[in-house]
Structure formats: structure tokens, C-alpha cells
Structure 1
Amino acid sequence: MLFGSHKNHLPTPDEALPGRPEREFTVPERHTVLGNPLLGPYPEGLEVADFAMGCFWGAERIFWRTDGVWTTLVGYQGGHTPNPSYEEVCSGRTGHTEAVRVVFDPAKISYGSLLKLFWESHDPTQGFRQGNDTGTQYRSAIHTSSPAQQSAAESSRDAYQKVLTSAGHAAITTEILPATDRPFYPAEGYHQQYLDRNINGYCGIGGTGVACPVGVVPAPDGTAK
């Protein structure tokens, strides 16, 4: 296994691979299912949410099937190596996790609804793995694009922890960090909408079976939504 000894250790900035100033591959222009552009800038009024919940192939499919989502793309986030390749991320020497960027219309679906879908669609208590996939690249994470998203993500985590604990599950290990601190780097073209083009492809995503409480995410006016 390539650099296998590194796969369960998050590297420090000094330990991480150096990366490169620009991507060494191209990203397809449009989403194969939704038909919209993958890369920004996005139309006015849309918002961006970044989630990591295990193998990004299955995670992306969950979100592109959701009403109100305008486009999705997979990539690498949460690490130190700029513009990494898939092989570098798999080595465990970049610090990145496999992530999905979700571009959505808040008039059609709320960020709170996306958080509920995130929590219920994987097991956020597993640390550096998800199902049979092991390594730091499979850890759970939310990278927020605004203070409001940060607050909502933290509130939903705390509420979900209560019901998970009551159901006998362990502590949530999900990282919740501002996306400005951890840039999102798009993945190679063959990873984008992978399960649309490979309908029998492997997907290790699976939830705990515990529902995230409805209305745990406060709206900007203080009400629940």
C-alpha cells in the first residue's frame, strides 16, 4: 500500500507534501446529471456548502439527487498540500479529506436541511474511516463558508450528539472548520459524478440509522428551520 504507514496520521504543515501552484489536470465544464457548470463563479443567489463523509463518489450522488441543489463536484479539502493529486491524497501525506462541494439555492432548500442529510447519510463517529474505507482521507468534516454556516453546523452537531448518545453511539468526530482556512481543490475529471458513469461502482457510505432532529438548525432570525 502506497505510504500505508501515513494513512492514519494527520501530517503537520511541515510533514505534508509540497504540492504545486496550479492543478495539473482539467476539470469537466458541466455536471453530467444536472447540466450546470462545476466551477464558479456561480449565479447570484446561490450558496456553497462543503461536506466530507467518506468516499466522495457516494457522497456526491446523495447531494445531486436532492431538490434545490444546483451543482456538485468532488475534491480535496482540510489539508495542507496545494493542488494535490488523488494519489497524493491517498498516501495520507497531504492532510486532505475527500469532500463534496454542494452549490444550492437557499430559496428551495435550507442549509439546515443539507446538514440533516449530511448527518443521516454517514456515521460521523468513526474517526479516520467510513465503513470499510480507512485513512485520514475518509474522515468526516464540514467546511463552512460563513459565520452563519459555522454556527448552524455546530448547533446541529450538538443536537445530533444528544440523540446519538441516547442510542448508544460514540462521540462525533466531525471537524467543523471555516473553508477559508482549508481551501477546496477540485478532484480529477474521472472522479466527478463517478457513480453516474459507473452505476455499479463501489460506495461505502452508510448512516447510523439515527434520525437527526428536525428543526435543530436556527435560522438567522433565531427561529428553527
Structure 2
Amino acid sequence: MTLFSRTSGSLPGRDTPIETSETHTVNGNALKGPIPDGFEEIVLGMGCFWGVERLFWQMPGVHVTAAGYAGGETPNPTYDETCTGRTGHTEVVRVVYDPDKVSLATLLRTFWEEHDPTQGNRQGNDIGSQYRSAIFVTTEAQREQAEQSREAYQKALDEQGKGRITTEIYPLDRFYYAEGYHQQYLDKNPGGYCGLKGTGVTCAIG
């Protein structure tokens, strides 16, 4: 499935995954372990993945998070390749969560409120298709709820004179893990860059 069209050719990527971490540095859970029974997975793009990952690993009910790439064509891309805009991928965070402890509505409300989904191929000073807003769902129920939440938030934005939402909502095709140094980056570098900035408009769901 191609989610992003470009006039230039896609980078070829590679057949094998790039090296990354095995363990979440904050909670010790396996970064790529099997999803526990009854848990769910959703993949979210909100700009630079460093701050996004920290946002979600701090939420009660989230089992594990991981920084990575999704939505494009290049298999097993590197960070440098993704930054060229020729992979089609956007920076994303994989969120595995326990729906008995944190609802999808809560995750989606956090998603909408903590970044600006109206900016297209950018978040603030971070410019490029790799920073576009996206939700990659893994179930039909997630897709329906994500689309309903987008409609609800657009209504709230309209009432405040804000712009149109550009967020993509697609079924997750492939999630590629980012390099190890990107995983839980702001745990390893507490003073590091975080570009998250919302619109100030409340998302009244959940």
C-alpha cells in the first residue's frame, strides 16, 4: 500500500532491519516483544518522535513505546534516508496499550491536543514530509474511532477559527523501528529537543 506520492523515486532501502534497541529504557519491557493478550497497538505521527514517545510512555496503561517510521515505500529506512523525504515515511511512535487501563479515546485526545494537526508537512520549525501528522490503526474499530475523533476535533478547531486538519488515517502496513539512539531519546537525554506544541484547542472526547 502506497500512502505517500512523490515525483522523485523512492530510496531502495534494504532487505534486513536496521539495528535498534531490544529493551525499553524506562520500563524495561521488550521493545519488540509480542503484544500481551488483550492489549492493542496504534502508531501515531505528531512530528519529531522524541517528544511524542515521552508523551505516551508517561501515560498509565501504556505497555511499551517505540520510535520508528511508517507510511512510506522504502523498506527498513534509516533516519538519514527518512529525512531526505524520499522514503515516503513519517516519524511515528508505536504505542502498545492496555485498553482496560487507558482508553483509545484518551490516547486520541492526547494525540489531537498535543500537536498541531493542521500544518501539513511540518510541525513548527520541523519542516518536511517526515513530520506530517498521521494515525496508523490496527483494527477497524480504531479506524472508526479515529475518524470520528478527527471530525469532532475539526469542529472544535472551526469554532476557534483554526485551520483544516491534514492528519492521515490509514491501516498500518509496516512499522519500522528507528535506530537505537532514537529509542527513549529524552530519557537518555532529558534536556534534549522536544518540538511538541498544540493548538490550545480542547478535544472533547473520552
TM category (shorter chain) comes to over 0.9
Alpha-carbon separation, structure 2, partners of 1:132 and 1:71: 28
Alpha-carbon separation, structure 1, partners of 2:42 and 2:68: 13
Q: Indicate if the aligned counterparts of 1:115 and 1:153 stay in contact, CA closer than 8 A.
A: yes
Deviations 1:166-198 (A, max 9, x none): 101000000000003xx1100000000000010
Query: Shift of the alpha carbon at 1:46?
Result: 1.1
* Structure 2 letter corresponding to 1:98: E
Q: Indicate if the aligned counterparts of 2:90 and 2:132 stay in contact, CA closer than 8 A.
A: yes
User: 1:16 is matched with which residue?
Assistant: 10
Q: Indicate if the aligned counterparts of 1:141 and 1:174 stay in contact, CA closer than 8 A.
A: yes
TM-score by length of 2: 0.95
For structure 1, the 5+ residue unaligned runs are 1-8, 216-225
User: 1:140 is matched with which residue?
Assistant: 133
- Alignment pair present for 1:208 and 2:202: no
* Structure 1 letter corresponding to 2:188: R
Alpha-carbon separation, structure 1, partners of 2:12 and 2:22: 27
* Structure 1 letter corresponding to 2:196: I
TM-score by length of 1: 0.88
Alpha-carbon separation, structure 2, partners of 1:154 and 1:62: 22
- Alignment pair present for 1:82 and 2:68: no
Query: Shift of the alpha carbon at 1:10?
Result: 4.8
Deviations 1:41-61 (A, max 9, x none): 122111101100000000000
Query: Shift of the alpha carbon at 1:214?
Result: 2.7
SS at match of 1:93: coil
In the TM superposition, what are the counterparts of 1:146-165 in structure 2 within 5 Å? 146-165=139-158
- Alignment pair present for 1:105 and 2:98: yes
Query: Shift of the alpha carbon at 1:108?
Result: 0.2
What is the aligned length? 203
Alpha-carbon separation, structure 1, partners of 2:5 and 2:119: 15
For structure 2, the 5+ residue unaligned runs are none
Alpha-carbon separation, structure 2, partners of 1:17 and 1:61: 29
Alpha-carbon separation, structure 2, partners of 1:167 and 1:10: 32
Deviations 1:55-98 (A, max 9, x none): 00000000000010011000000000000000000011000000
SS at match of 1:148: helix
* Structure 2 letter corresponding to 1:173: T
The two structures, once aligned, show a CA RMSD in angstroms of 1.3
Alpha-carbon separation, structure 2, partners of 1:24 and 1:55: 19
Greater than 3 Å deviation, 4+ residue runs: none
Query: Shift of the alpha carbon at 1:203?
Result: 0.8
SS at match of 2:135: strand
